[in-house]
Every structure is written in C-alpha cells, then in structure tokens.
Amino acid sequence: MSYIVTSSSLVSEMGSNAKEGVYPLHRSKTIHLVRHAQGTHNVAGEEDLSAYLSEDYFDAQLTPLGWQQVDNLQKHVQESGISKKIDLVVVSPLMRTMQTAAGAFGGESSTDGNDHVPPLMVANTGDSDRPAISSLNSPPFIASELCREGLGVHPCDRRRSISEYKTMFPAIDFSLIENDDDVLWAKYTTRETSEEVAARGVKFMKWLLTREENEIAVVTHSGFLYFTLREYGDDLHPTLQKEMHKFFHNCELRSVVIVDKSMIGSNTSNTDFPGNIPSGADVPSAAIN
C-alpha cells in the first residue's frame, strides 16, 4: 500500500470533514523503503542484547537466511514490476544494506566476468559465498550517510572505510560521503538519540525531494525507518497511522509517496499541458457554427 507522506506539523487531527490531499503529480515521488535482510547481529541480539556491543559483529553481514530473504525480495520486485520503474537506489553505506540492495535491485548474478561493466558486488563479499552481482541493466546506486542506522556505541553500525567498500561494491557511487573513515560513528560517546535519528531522517526525505528521479528505492535500517516515519502521518486516519508507524521486519518493503509542498525540489511536469489559445485573432465561441 502507498501513502501520501505529509509533515506532522501541518495537520494535527483527522476530522470528519477532512478533505483528501490533492497535489501536482510532478511535486511527488514514489519511495520504496526497504529494511536490510537478516544480519548476524540480529540473530545474536535476539538471544542477548549485549551482543550489539560486541566487536564480533562490526559492520555485520547477512546470514544465509538473510540471503534467502534477499532472493525472495528480488523475485517480488521483478514480478511486481517495481524493478522496471526504479530510477535510483539509495543505500546506507554498511555491509548488510549494500548486500541487500545489490541482491534485490541489481542485475543478474555474474560468474564469467564478461559484462564489461563494474559489478555492484564482487564475488564472496562479506564471506557470503555468493557470485558477483552485475550492474548491467540495473538502476544507478548511490550511498548516503543520512540514512544510516543510529550512530555510536554499537560496532555493528560502524562502517568500514570507503576505500574498502569500493573494492567490494565497485558500481556503487560513494561520492556523497566526505570522509574515508567513519568519523560520524566515532564522534558519539553515547548512542545517537531517537530525536537525532528522526531529524536526520527528515533531512534525508527533504534531500530525496531535490533529486531528479521520480521513483527511488531506499535500503536502510529498522531504527532509522521507525523514527523517521513517526515524524509523518498525523493527518492520516488512525488505522493508516498505525500501519505506517509499524516496525519493519528484515527485508520488508513498503512503498510511500512524498510530496514537495514548499518548492524544495525543482521538478517540472512532463504531463501537464497549458491549453493555450492558438495564435491569431480570437474568435468568440458563439460565432462558431
């Protein structure tokens, strides 16, 4: 199900006489939100929460079950037609999110190395025992630190250097990331607060509105999605609010619509038609027989 995402500061209640929102199509974007598949840290953390503090799960990779989830999601996006519509994939720069994004939205697995294009993921990345994933016929991929999981304290949420990632995910664009090392995670001596994550999420949504692409997949994390989406939807029916604010399962995809109400972006319509009167002298309609 798709939703119109509106700012919680605009409307506080859903009254009985509330009107449906009508917006210019070219001021909206379809966003397919995806939580990464099951990671090794998820399994350990379900057994013992203190595992999230362990260096054993630094930049956690996908489990074998996680890869099965990715394969199922890839089948869904192909059969539903989503894969043919996506103009861009935005991914959090961590192992588990990039593995999920490449597997779900990338090209076919490649074993011969003759694609003549850089792979989205090289073979066996993260001890995955997976063949290389081609970037052929896939949308462009770009990494953004705005959609990372909560920063600080948990080694599973600390990324490797961008230099390392470039060798594992050659076709992902890392140009938006300013520092090779993970200086963002390191600056937090305590865990990033939910309010800070939400503010970062709202900033990320505004950034998406500045993009030229109209249909975007975002592969990110449960906490980031949960705290970001809770900033939106106060103008929805309570049932829809509850649906939108639910916690994401591993490898779950939900499609939403974001609307630019304040001219953040600069898109122009490809479908609107001005209906100009043809050049020449105007002829009153009453004079036309």
- β-strand 4-5 against 141-143: which pairing, if any? unpaired
Domain presence at residue 274 = no
**Confidence check: pLDDT of 30 > 90:** yes
Q: Does some domain include residue 32?
A: yes
Q: Is residue 283 part of a domain?
A: no
Compute the average pLDDT of residues 141-162. 98
pLDDT at 19 exceeding the cut of 90: no
CATH number for the domain spanning 165: value is 3.40.50.1240
Lowest-confidence pick of 18-27, 44-53, 139-148: 18-27
Helix (H), strand (E), coil (C) string for 214-255: CEEEEEECHHHHHHHHCCECCCCCHHHHHHHCCCCCCCCEEE
| Per-residue pLDDT at 22 | 86
The per-residue pLDDT for 181 is 98
Q: How confident is the model at residue 159 (pLDDT cuts 50, 70, 90)?
A: very high
Tokens linked to 289 = 């027989």
**In sequence order, which residues have a C-beta less than 8 Å from that of residue 57 and are 6 or more positions away?**
39, 40, 41, 44, 51, 155, 156
How does residue 288 score in pLDDT terms, banded at 50, 70 and 90?
A: low
Closest Cα partner for 46 from 63, 67, 22? 63
Within a domain: residue 202?
A: yes
Active site residue 154: no
DSSP, res 39: B
Asked if pLDDT for residue 229 goes beyond 50, the answer is yes
Looking at every residue in the chain, the average pLDDT score rounds to 89
C-alpha–C-alpha distance, residues 25 and 4, integer Å = 12
The catalytic position among 36, 41, 154, 221 is 36
- Count how many domains the chain has: 1
Residue 82, pLDDT above cutoff 90:
yes
Are β-strands 28-35 and 253-259 bridged in parallel, bridged antiparallel, or unpaired?
antiparallel
Q: What CA–CA distances, in Å, run from 246 to 39, 65, 110, 225, 243?
A: 20, 23, 36, 9, 6
Please state, in angstroms and rounded to a whole number, the distance separating the CA atoms of residues 198 and 201: 5
Q: What is the mean pLDDT of residues 97-112?
A: 84
**Tokens read off for 119:** 């792979």
Q: Which neighbouring-strand residues pair with 257?
A: 4, 30
**Burial class of residue 69, CB neighbours in 10 A (0-12, 13-18, 19+):** buried
289 belongs to a structural domain: no
Instruction: Identify the pLDDT of residue 275.
Output: 85
Confidence at 17, pLDDT banded by 50, 70, 90: low
Which band of pLDDT confidence, cut at 50, 70 and 90, is reported for residue 157?
Answer: very high
What pLDDT is attached to residue 154?
98
Mean pLDDT of all residues in 106-130: 81
pLDDT for 283: 61
- Binned at pLDDT 50, 70 and 90, residue 162 comes out as very high
Note whether residue 42 is domain-resident. yes
* CB atoms closer than 10 angstroms to residue 278: 6
Q: Which neighbouring-strand residues pair with 13? A: none
pLDDT-derived band of residue 134, with 50, 70 and 90 as boundaries? very high
Task: Select which of 149, 154, 213, 221 is catalytic.
Answer: 149
Give 235's pLDDT tier (boundaries 50, 70, 90): confident
Q: Which domain holds residue 41?
A: 4-8+24-264
Cα-atom radius of gyration of the chain, to the nearest Å? 22
Percent of the chain whose pLDDT exceeds 70: 86
Residue closest to 42 by CA, chosen among 203, 230, 256, 223: 223
The answer to whether 149 is a known catalytic residue is yes
pLDDT at 276: 74
CB 100 within 8 A of CB 251: yes
- The confidence band for 10, taking pLDDT boundaries of 50, 70 and 90, is very low
Predicted confidence at residue 16, as pLDDT, reads: 47
Q: Note whether residue 277 is domain-resident.
A: no
Residue 16 lies in a domain: no
Vertex 209: Cα angle to 204 and 212 (nearest 5): 120
> What is the reported pLDDT for 136?
92
Q: What pLDDT does residue 93 have?
A: 98
2 secondary structure, DSSP code: -
Q: Is the pLDDT of residue 122 over 80?
A: yes
Would you state the pLDDT for residue 116? 80
Check residue 23 and give its pLDDT.
87
